[in-house]
Amino acid sequence: MMDYSRSWQELRRKQRVAWLVLPACIPVGVVADHFHSRLLFFVLGGLWCAAGLFAFGRVSAFPCPRCRKTYFIEKLRKNPSSVRCLHCGLRKEESSDVVETEWSLVQDSLPKLEWGRLRRFSDGMVEARDADGKTEWFASVKSAHAWLSEDGLVQLSSLSSSKLAAIGLLPDDLAPPNWST
């Protein structure tokens, strides 16, 4: 099981800090009023605004523990109250298991080994990684296979041993790479 508890704990800490910055505007007004200073009001108010933008910016930039992309922002879409990652669909406070890993090869480049990978998670989401290292997320295995096939990747299991032998590859030559993520 991929345990994301430390990441979720970090997100909760960043959110608490951001929400604690908001009520700080009250002391800003009180201090400025006490000293009857507009300049002090604008200086303290500016600092408060900068602190708020910084704190909420850190929450918005939180990386999803699974796909490592920004959890709340996807291109032009931003949803700071989202309960799912806008890229891979991981729900907040959730951990997930890889239940299946499937390897692929770029058929046109054989006997050179250019690998691709498909991983299915316990929550049903599918991660596909092509030979160039680009990763995309899909709701179905079929969609992920279609995306990988656009780059000429074919499932390793679909390559017959006779075909591999014909191009000079032995089963021992087909050890998939060790991609940790």
Q: What is the pLDDT of residue 102?
A: 93
Are both 74 and 102 inside the same structural domain? no
Are both 25 and 70 inside the same structural domain? yes
Q: What is the pLDDT of residue 181?
A: 60
Confidence tier at 177 by pLDDT (50, 70, 90): confident
For residues 22 and 170, what is the distance between their CA atoms, to the nearest angstrom? 64
- Give the mean pLDDT of the chain: 86
Are both 128 and 157 inside the same structural domain? yes
Domain housing 13: 5-78
The reply to whether 89 falls in a domain is: no
The reply to whether 29 falls in a domain is: yes
For residues 62 and 47, what is the distance between their CA atoms, to the nearest angstrom? 23
Q: Are 28 and 45 spatial neighbours (Cβ–Cβ below 8 Å)?
A: yes
Number of independent structural domains in the chain: 2
Q: What is the pLDDT of residue 1?
A: 54
Reported as a single tens digit per residue, the pLDDT across 42-77 is 888 888 889 989 999 999 999 999 888 999 998 888
| 132 vs 166, residue with greater confidence | 132
Are both 105 and 160 inside the same structural domain? yes
Q: What is the pLDDT of residue 48?
A: 86
